[in-house]
Amino acid sequence: MDTEAGLAAKRDELGRQMAGYRSLPEYILDGLGAVIQRVFNPRKFRERATFLPPDASAQEQEYFPSYPWTGAAIAVFTFLIGWLLSALSGHRLSADEFKLMAWAAFTGALALVINKINIRAFLNTFRRSCVDRLLRIADINELEKWLESNFKSWLPWFLVLGLGVGPFLGWFLYNNWLVVTVALACVQAVWVAIYLIPFYVAFPSLLNRYHFDLYTLDPSSSEVVGQLSRLLTFILYATMAYIVQLTIGLSYVEVLTAKTPVSGFIFSAFVWAPTISLYASGQFHLSNIISRAKWKTLNEVQTKIEELNQAGKIPDKDTLERLDKLMNYHDRIRDTPNSALNFRAGLNFLNSLLLPVVAFVVANFKDVIAFFD
């Protein structure tokens, strides 16, 4: 049996560990931020005993460079590499090439920023709202191992995979001297895409294993359920916003058009599909958590009803009143929602799915009109 003291100690320990976790894109953004701070604010840098701030969620309160600025610096750096190569080769950039370089640099850096926003939302939600509601030390240990694996153990492999796949993807998308700029952007995008698998696809299934302390009378109204549902919605919207600009950009450079079905399939399989899977799978497993909590209470009430309604005995008036109250109590819990979703949330989800489609249609409007003519 897990004691309250043991649970509290494990929760605090996990919370401290989560404060220092960073994804690979975050290490890039925050690493550059630390370098900038060391150059322009050396006093604040020296006051810190570590190269990076210990708490990644509170670092901006310590006058640490904000990640949108470091993301912008990475975008400029990526663009300047391509521009420098064109200058050294004596090539004069055309307007289309200039726009391609600028968009590729912006998109790669934006991917890093979106990843940081989503990872911070994920860790902060669990650290501040969910860890304290875990009821078993075994669940805390499992979550601790999972986080350790994805934030530390696999980090070198994520780095190598991005450096290996990114240049190839850049060459596939744009095969000329501009491939260097596009490849750098693709490396950044691949580092972000890697986190789609453990965090966007695999993790929601882990939720079903955990036992949370939920509101007995209506588990769907529990704080932890609301926080997890909002987390899934926030990540969905942030990712969809990125997918919309990615769809428009790829259509503009004629990588994603009605005439390039292979690129469309790759884009759908590795970008759009995991995002939809995150939300749908997460809400499904949240529903399982709610149903499990409901049935735990319902089984306890049913046991009390069976004890009162003993075989072979005619219930007296008081017993009948107690039975009636217990059955009403049972039915009230049974009729509470089994999901954190409601009609409005479901409608918003469907609308968000249409955004990439609308972006594709807008970007390829002429081809779409020609298709129906």
State yes or no: pLDDT of 72 exceeds 90. Answer: yes
Contacts of 310 (CB under 8 A, 6+ apart): none
For residue 177, the model assigns a pLDDT of 46
For residue 30, the model assigns a pLDDT of 92
Are the CB atoms for 204 and 133 separated by under 8 Å?
Answer: no
Question: Could you give the CA distance from residue 182 to residue 160 in angstroms, rounded to a whole number?
Answer: 18
- Half-sphere exposure of 323 toward its Cβ, with a 13 Å CA cutoff? 13
Long-range contacts made by residues 271-276, C-beta under 8 angstroms, separation at least 24? 271/193, 271/243, 271/246, 272/243, 272/356, 274/196, 274/197, 274/200, 274/201, 275/196, 275/200, 275/236, 275/239, 275/240, 275/243, 276/353
For residue 76, the model assigns a pLDDT of 92
Question: Could you give the CA distance from residue 26 to residue 64 in angstroms, rounded to a whole number?
Answer: 14
* Amino acid at site 373: D
- Structure confidence by residue, pLDDT tens digits, 230-289: 888 888 788 777 877 777 777 776 666 656 655 555 665 566 666 677 777 778 888 888
State yes or no: pLDDT of 371 exceeds 60. Answer: no
Question: Could you give the CA distance from residue 188 to residue 181 in angstroms, rounded to a whole number?
Answer: 11
Report residue 317 as tokens.
Answer: 């008036």
pLDDT confidence bin for 191, thresholds 50/70/90: confident
Residues 111, 113, 114, 115, CA torsion sign: positive
Higher pLDDT, 73 or 340: 73
Higher pLDDT, 336 or 94: 336
Report residue 88 as tokens.
Answer: 């050294």
- Structure confidence by residue, pLDDT tens digits, 1-55: 467 788 888 889 988 888 888 888 899 999 999 999 999 888 888 888 889 888 8
For residue 105, the model assigns a pLDDT of 86
For residue 175, the model assigns a pLDDT of 55
For residue 298, the model assigns a pLDDT of 92
CB neighbourhood size of 13 (10 A): 13
3-state secondary structure string, 76-109?
A: HHHHHHHHHHHHHCCCCCCHHHHHHHHHHHHHHH
> Percentage of residues in the chain with pLDDT exceeding 70?
78
For residue 309, the model assigns a pLDDT of 76
What b/e string do you get for 75-112 counting C-beta neighbours within 10 Å, with b at 16 or more? Answer: beebbebbbebbeeeeeeeeeebeebbbbbbbbbbbbb
For residue 238, the model assigns a pLDDT of 82
pLDDT confidence bin for 365, thresholds 50/70/90: low
Question: Would you call 345 helix, strand, or coil by DSSP?
Answer: helix
| DSSP assigned state of 3 | -
Question: Residue 109: which of 76, 66, 151, 155 has the closest Cα?
Answer: 76
Higher pLDDT, 369 or 291: 291
Are the CB atoms for 113 and 68 separated by under 8 Å?
Answer: yes
User: Rounded to the nearest 10 degrees, how much is the dihedral formed by the CA atoms of 203, 209, 212, 216?
Assistant: 120
Pick from 94-98, 110-114, 261-265, 362-366 the range whose average pLDDT is largest.
110-114
Average pLDDT for 301-310: 84
Question: Could you give the CA distance from residue 248 to residue 257 in angstroms, rounded to a whole number?
Answer: 10
pLDDT confidence bin for 348, thresholds 50/70/90: low
CA distances from 130 to 83, 143, 194, 261 (A): 47, 11, 25, 42
- Structure confidence by residue, pLDDT tens digits, 203-237: 777 888 888 888 888 988 888 888 888 888 888 78
Q: Is 213 left (phi over 0), alpha (psi -120 to 50) or beta?
A: beta
Please identify which residue in the block is written with the tokens 């039915």.
331
Q: Is the pTM of this model over 0.85?
A: no
Average pLDDT for 126-141: 88
Give φ, ψ of 209 to 5 degrees: -85, -20
Average pLDDT, the chain: 79
For residue 308, the model assigns a pLDDT of 80
Pick from 114-123, 205-214, 315-324 the range whose average pLDDT is largest.
114-123
Question: Would you call 212 helix, strand, or coil by DSSP?
Answer: strand
For residue 69, the model assigns a pLDDT of 92
